[in-house]
Structure 1
Amino acid sequence: MSIVTPVRLSVQGLAKTYRTKSGDVPVIADLTFDVHVGEVACIVGPSGIGKTTLLKCLTGLQPYTAGVAAIDGVPIDGPPQEMALVFQEYTRSLMPWLTVERNVRLPLRHLRLPAAEREERITAALAAVGLSGAETKYPWQLSGGMQQRVAIARAIAYRPEVLVMDEPFASVDAQTRFELEDLCLRIREQFGMTIVIVTHDIDEAVYLSDRVVVLGERPARVTEVIEIAFPEPRDQLRTRALPEFAELRTRIFEHIRKAG
């Protein structure tokens, strides 16, 4: 019998309309889906469908027009303390004048943690992303993949309930991308976080997800929510070679091509 976990992030009837001089422009309409505790959920859809707008609404960076998005039943009406965000452009999110350790320390300043717990979080986060020993380096001394690891370490040191990632691996090479995908899965296991990823990469979505939320139509609606249950642990070679992997990739691609 499968274990049903509680819903962590709930989106019900969410809509967003921009008001312009020429009239209202609806971007997303009536989006409904759930992400359960400890899941990795990927949001995919054609370019311009409204994925970034949805992300801004989920992270409280932008108010939604109708419906509700909630964490553990509490509506999101501003940036939630239970959430951390990792951007695609790590070069813009990291402070180049701060060392790796100080970049990771940055979001902990307002939490008023005991000194010992703060240091433990920083040490554990850097170890989790494979950057133990790089504390005194500066971002500009690191490769792109290592810089993104710093950004991820900063987010997990905050210990959010929900980690939201916006195209987090789009700016790195293919090999580094595979490594960061596996890092994402390890973080979920180690820290028990619920992870929501916006991505254009269908293969990435299929590999990482417990469920994939496919957006289509305009204004954007949920075309399908696809649950994925590959054998664990997932492996870049064995998992991607499964017949089900190709079937799911084709199924999602057909949705996106039709919407595009």
Structure 2
Amino acid sequence: MTQKVFISNFCPKSIRSIAHSPYGSLSQTKELVLYNGVWKGRCLNPELYLRNLLFYLPSLQSIELSHEYIKRYPQTHAKALFPLYTVGNSFTTVLRAIEDSSKAKKLIITGVLDTRHIQIEKDLTCITHLSINALQLSDKFALKFLTHFPNLERLSIQSSHHWIKSIRMSHLRWGALKWLKLNSFCISEDDLLDFIMHHQLLEQLKLEDMCVDAGSWTSFCLRLQAISRDITVLFEGLFSSRPLQRLGPIISGQKLQDLASETPFSLEVCG
């Protein structure tokens, strides 16, 4: 029984290989990794072939889209390459196939995601867990992209530009969101607090290597005292109160822990 399937340079031959796999039935396969290739040159109708692929994987729970160059490196080095390789035009094709032909709940994008040229015709209601490892912000397009996943319970997004790009989340709403991780973004203090207040089911917020471009982390920790519900906040890495171009004092995780030690919410810090 094959639990995880890897496909590179997607083409009709890939479908036949899976359909006649010597490793037995793929009906119980849980994970699919698609390495981005020149699909338009290999397939006359890549969307059709993707739908056929998903037909052979009825138990699929997770789809990961990556770049074919990343697969050449060991897992320990691959993460450093995510910001270097862009998830190409094949991503729109994958989304269309997921919309109509998959019950997968988890979507992982391990490469630079530029949302300006991605076209989504309808919401992907099946996806409850979304992870983007290098989101390229043009803010308007990125936020519009995120709204096409209305049923998210877990969301993890990392900026492709450390402490340079701002993300504005106050207009985003997910009624079922329980877990959120933000990494390497700038965000305003008010915007982040507003997001927390409007997500009553949010149980855990994880912030890693973040900066605030309006407000301060000291004020953010103190204002969390007013939130009268159980939420776990985790800080990892280093935090600044200014974007990279105007870098201010760096605050360690331990410093934030000391500042927030009397707050009623659960706080964990990893320096």
Same fold? TM cut 0.5: no
TM-score by length of 2: 0.30
**Bigger Cα Rg:** 2
TM-score by length of 1: 0.31
